């Protein structure tokens, strides 16, 4: 499959941040989905993987029209939750384990403007033990999340995404 080299005119620039640790079982859901998104080779998508969100990720959103945060979650309903989020003041801005809302707040404070509309795809995970891979249930949830998010990635639009919200 050849990668797209140019985005169609008017296609929103999308930044996808996926995080987790594949050495900790289901915590690898975010990076696993992010690799699938990267494999699409879409010019309008910037995919960023890390072990956790950090202050510097606020700058990765600069110039984006839309943002998607992807992670595993023990609190999400199975197979996943898709929600809209925004900057939230009062969250601790440390260099470790930031929430998407804190990254968005740092973006607003540092750059002096609202961050792009942002959404969270939280894929249900159950087992996070060190030295294990994705569990069978997590692998099935990954497939469901992929089937849901792929058309949103291929043709991003905030109105369409808001119409797909599910928690």
Note the pLDDT tens digit of each residue in 89-99. 765 554 456 89
Tokens of 130: 């060190």
Rg (CA), the chain: 15
**Around Cβ 40, how many Cβ atoms within 10 Å?**
14
Q: How confident is the model at residue 3 (pLDDT cuts 50, 70, 90)?
A: very low
Question: What's the predicted TM-score (pTM) here?
Answer: 0.90
3-state secondary structure at position 19: strand
Interval 15-31 mean pLDDT: 93
Q: Are strands 66-73 and 45-50 parallel, antiparallel or unpaired?
A: unpaired
> Could you count the other beta carbons within 10 Å of the beta carbon of residue 129?
11
Domain 14-163 has CATH 3.40.718.10: no
Each residue of 112-121: b (16+ CB within 10 Å) or e? eeebbbbbbb
Give me the residue spans of the domains in the chain.
14-163
Least confident of 111-115, 129-133, 146-150, 152-156: 129-133
Q: How far is Cα 141 from Cα 131, in angstroms, rounded to an integer?
A: 20
């Amino acid at each position: 499959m050849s990668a797209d080299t140019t985005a169609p005119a008017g296609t929103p620039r999308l930044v996808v941040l996926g995080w987790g640790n594949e050495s900790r079982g289901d915590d690898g859901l975010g990076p696993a989905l992010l690799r699938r998104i990267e494999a699409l080779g879409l010019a309008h998508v910037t995919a960023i993987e890390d072990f956790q969100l950090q202050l510097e990720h606020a700058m990765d959103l600069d110039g984006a029209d839309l943002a998607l945060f992807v992670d595993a979650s023990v609190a999400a309903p199975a197979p996943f939750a898709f929600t809209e989020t925004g900057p939230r003041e009062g969250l601790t801005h440390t260099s470790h384990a930031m929430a998407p809302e804190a990254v968005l707040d740092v973006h607003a404070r540092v750059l002096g403007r609202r961050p792009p509309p942002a959404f969270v795809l939280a894929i249900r995970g159950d087992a996070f033990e060190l030295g294990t891979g994705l569990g069978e249930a997590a692998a099935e949830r990954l497939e469901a999340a992929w089937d849901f998010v792929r058309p949103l990635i291929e043709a991003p639009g905030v109105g369409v995404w808001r119409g797909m919200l599910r928690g």
